[in-house]
Structure 1
Amino acid sequence: MRTRRHFIQATAATTLLGSLGLQTARAQGLEQVKIVNGFPAGGSADVTSRRIGEKLGGSVYTKNAAVVENKTGAAGRIAVETVKNAVPDGATLLLTPYSMMSIYPHIYKQLSYDPFKDLTPVCMASMLTHGLAVGPMVPASVKTVKDYLAWAKANPKEANYGSPAAGSTPHFLGALLGLESGVDLKHVPYRGSIPGITDVIGGQLASMVTPHGDFLPNHRAGKLRIIATSGKTRSPFVPEVPTFAEQGFPDLVVEEWFGFYAPAKTPAAVVANANTAINAALKEKSVIDSLALSGMVPVGGSPEDMAKSMQYYFEFWGPLVKKIGFTAES
């Protein structure tokens, strides 16, 4: 695929122009801002949107706290398209995991947006790791990934896993686990984490791969069991759970961020103001504590930082998607 280096250069230029116009934009401040995300209420995307949105009011960016709209459907693409087509005045932001930007271009031949042209990076918000959890369909004796794979191989009709969206990072983590182990794990896509977790707890679904923070309340209540996390090191939120790498799957080390985007052609000064306000919100103790409850940590940084990370993951996932062999027509 063609290089996206020009995108990073353009983002750097946008940041520079934003600093030049910052004083003018500070005096103006938007009356109301809306944050659109593509997943249901209660999940990691929703928590990130609401906790940060609550803190934006009274900032250089906007006078009032942001309104959050959960625009679910099409594996998160409807939300992206909504913001792509919004008026580029800074009043509408997208909050999305990097999947929709860095992975989807590899799997959708007719993707309805170009993440490098139709949207402008504003700020990375939160970082998370994913987890593999099993529910009551899987015997209590299954405590590790290898235990689960052995059970799945012996029970092929029940050997399935859910994810919050087809083509998402959790979907591909499960697919890579199946490929590397030689076990046929059937994928079941959902509209977000919560519906899939509900089915795991209810015994209709064997397992789920999704942001591990979405499992935490039910894991602690004993309603499901997290058996692996995808970080470089163990999660501080479930330190008793070993990583995939510790359990013999080093290729399943993946961390993912949620980030804010504005429509392309949003004034540079407004993007700079939004970035300033979001970075300030991420330093608030109440935001840090709320993110921790969902297994996330704040990130922040500049639009250029976000563009570089987006480019990195675009290149990282390309060969893996090819290895998995998934396309939107699969």
Structure 2
Amino acid sequence: MRRRHLLFAAALPAPALAQRPDQAGRPWSPPTRMVIPYGAGNITDQVARVLIDVLGQRHGWRIAADNQPGAGGMLGANNLIRAPADGSVCGVVAAAALTILPHIQRNPRFDPFPELAPVTGLAISSSFLAVHASLPVRTLAELAAHARARPADNPVFYYSPGNATVPHLNLEALRRALDFPMQHVPYRTSQAGNTDLLANRVQVTMDSFSITLPHIQAGTLRPLAFNGAQRHPLLPEVPTMAEAAPGVQLMNAWMAVFFPRATPAATVDRAAEDLLDAVNSPAFAERLPVGTSPFALGPTELAERVRSEGARIGRLIAEIGLTPD
């Protein structure tokens, strides 16, 4: 196996790990391989590797990280579906592969519910609604009013790192809910869109925290709202989206652990115990990438999150008129 596919956490000796009993005294062997459907260095990969280390330190899991990038996470997720359903293989999958991509592919390879067993939420990232500092607005309500007042041939432009990405769908949901016009400009990368935003060729974004925060702190961008559950401690004066636009449901990028669907329920539940303990630990939270926080959901809560969010996103994609690839 290639070196980049292997990451062994600090662990107990093998005999102590084998057949370790669960709380009911049943034999229990944790997974030995974790499929990560993204390349090394991707934010989901970073979170997965933090998890592997913390599981090794707290519970003695010895687990290999298996990066399988491609098709926005669908390639690795599809391989996870076909992996042995004996508890030896789990995977960390990002929300987009579960709630967005199935709606925009002409022939989606899988539906997450029949094919994957939800185990545990891991981490979630939030974003700022931000505008170029020259735009004469300081609140979301002012942005909506300003956009309505602009002539049709000189609209407010917003960028995203591509069609059907989380920033694109969030800004479409927001402008539709508040009924104001903005023109979408999709880019191939966040870096390209952010370059044009800083040059004032586009004016608005809800790109990832790590992309926008440095420019907010530098005063080049102005934050209008934060799409998190609470105000962000670095910018406590910025309202949450719930405060700025009550009742408007947006999405966040999150990632979670799944098993192949046929994995025994007792194995899923037992794995969730150790995983939730790790996710709730200070060691996990302290090592997460900037802009992310723990997302501790159990199997039932995670299944409902995928189900409800996927349905809402599907309706939005249909309203926008995005066609399958």
TM-score normalised to structure 2 length: 0.73
Alignment correspondent of 2:255 = 258
Q: Secondary structure at the match of 2:223?
A: strand
Q: Please say if residues 226 and 241 of structure 1, whose CA atoms lie closer than 8 Å, have aligned partners that are also in contact.
A: yes
Matches of 1:92 and 1:166, distance apart in 2: 32
Q: Please say if residues 147 and 156 of structure 2, whose CA atoms lie closer than 8 Å, have aligned partners that are also in contact.
A: no
- What residue identity is the alignment partner of 1:99? A
Matches of 1:203 and 1:289, distance apart in 2: 35
- What residue identity is the alignment partner of 1:51? V
- What residue identity is the alignment partner of 1:36? I
Distance 1:301 1:171, change over 3 A: same
Matches of 2:252 and 2:108, distance apart in 1: 24
- What residue identity is the alignment partner of 2:28? A
Distance 1:322 1:40, change over 3 A: farther
Q: Secondary structure at the match of 1:55?
A: helix
Confirm or deny that 1:57 pairs with 2:52.
Answer: no
Alignment correspondent of 1:48 = 47
Q: How does 1:149-164 map to 2 (within 5 A)?
A: 150=146, 153=150, 156=154, 159-163=157-161
Q: Identify the match of residue 131 of structure 1 among 125, 128, 133.
A: 128
Alignment correspondent of 1:170 = 167
Distance 1:47 1:101, change over 3 A: same
- What residue identity is the alignment partner of 1:316? R
Confirm or deny that 1:186 pairs with 2:184.
Answer: yes
Q: Please say if residues 123 and 261 of structure 1, whose CA atoms lie closer than 8 Å, have aligned partners that are also in contact.
A: yes
Matches of 1:211 and 1:63, distance apart in 2: 32
Matches of 1:198 and 1:261, distance apart in 2: 36
Q: Please say if residues 128 and 207 of structure 2, whose CA atoms lie closer than 8 Å, have aligned partners that are also in contact.
A: yes
Matches of 2:88 and 2:100, distance apart in 1: 27
Q: Please say if residues 126 and 300 of structure 1, whose CA atoms lie closer than 8 Å, have aligned partners that are also in contact.
A: yes
Q: Identify the match of residue 230 of structure 1 among 200, 223, 227.
A: 227
- What residue identity is the alignment partner of 2:139? T
Matches of 2:293 and 2:61, distance apart in 1: 24
Alignment correspondent of 1:36 = 36
* Deviation of the 1:36 alpha carbon: 0.6
Larger radius of gyration: 2
* Deviation of the 1:24 alpha carbon: 1.6
> What CA deviation, in whole Å up to 9, does each residue of 1:2-59 have, x standing for no partner?
xxxxxxxxxxxxxxxx979973224xx44x433414477364x344223222212256
> What CA deviation, in whole Å up to 9, does each residue of 1:125-161 have, x standing for no partner?
12343332345xx626454345555369467487131
Distance 1:322 1:228, change over 3 A: same
Alignment correspondent of 1:67 = 65
Distance 1:202 1:118, change over 3 A: farther
Q: Identify the match of residue 299 of structure 1 among 288, 295, 302.
A: 295
- What residue identity is the alignment partner of 1:279? L
- Uncovered stretches (5+) of structure 2, i.e. residues with no partner: 1-20
Q: Please say if residues 33 and 62 of structure 1, whose CA atoms lie closer than 8 Å, have aligned partners that are also in contact.
A: no
Q: Which has the higher contact order (CA 8 A, sep 6+)?
A: 1
* Deviation of the 1:202 alpha carbon: 6.9
Matches of 1:247 and 1:256, distance apart in 2: 20
- What residue identity is the alignment partner of 1:48? V
Confirm or deny that 1:23 pairs with 2:29.
Answer: no
* Deviation of the 1:104 alpha carbon: 3.5
Q: Secondary structure at the match of 2:41?
A: coil
Q: Secondary structure at the match of 2:181?
A: coil
Matches of 1:189 and 1:117, distance apart in 2: 33
Matches of 1:207 and 1:132, distance apart in 2: 7
Q: Identify the match of residue 322 of structure 2 among 311, 323, 326.
A: 326
Q: Identify the match of residue 111 of structure 1 among 105, 108, 111.
A: 108
Q: Secondary structure at the match of 1:117?
A: helix
Confirm or deny that 1:308 pairs with 2:304.
Answer: yes
Matches of 2:197 and 2:115, distance apart in 1: 37
* Deviation of the 1:264 alpha carbon: 2.7
Q: Secondary structure at the match of 1:133?
A: strand
Q: Please say if residues 161 and 174 of structure 1, whose CA atoms lie closer than 8 Å, have aligned partners that are also in contact.
A: no
Confirm or deny that 1:144 pairs with 2:139.
Answer: yes
Matches of 1:107 and 1:323, distance apart in 2: 13
Matches of 1:42 and 1:219, distance apart in 2: 23
Alignment correspondent of 1:7 = none
Instruction: Output the aligned Cα RMSD.
Output: 3.8
- What residue identity is the alignment partner of 1:144? T
Give the share of equivalent positions with the same residue, in percent. 23
Matches of 1:69 and 1:104, distance apart in 2: 19
* Deviation of the 1:237 alpha carbon: 4.4
